[in-house]
Amino acid sequence: MLYETREEAQRALAFARRFLREELGVELHPQKTRLIAFGKLARRETADNGNGTFEFLGFTHYWAKSRLGPWILKRKTAQKRVRRAKQAL
Question: For 28-62, how does the pLDDT look when each residue is reduced to its tens digit (9 = 90+)?
Answer: 888 888 887 776 555 555 544 556 788 888 899 88
Q: Which tops the pLDDT comparison, 2 or 67?
A: 67
Assess contact for 36 and 49: CB atoms under 8 A. Answer: yes
- Show the CA angle centred on residue 47, arms to residues 44 and 50, nearest 5°: 110
pLDDT band at 64; cut points 50, 70, 90: confident
Query: What local confidence, expressed as pLDDT, does residue 40 receive?
Result: 59
The proportion of the chain whose per-residue pLDDT surpasses 90, expressed as a percent, equals: 29
pTM tops 0.85, yes or no: no
End-to-end CA distance of the chain: 36
Assess contact for 3 and 12: CB atoms under 8 A. Answer: yes
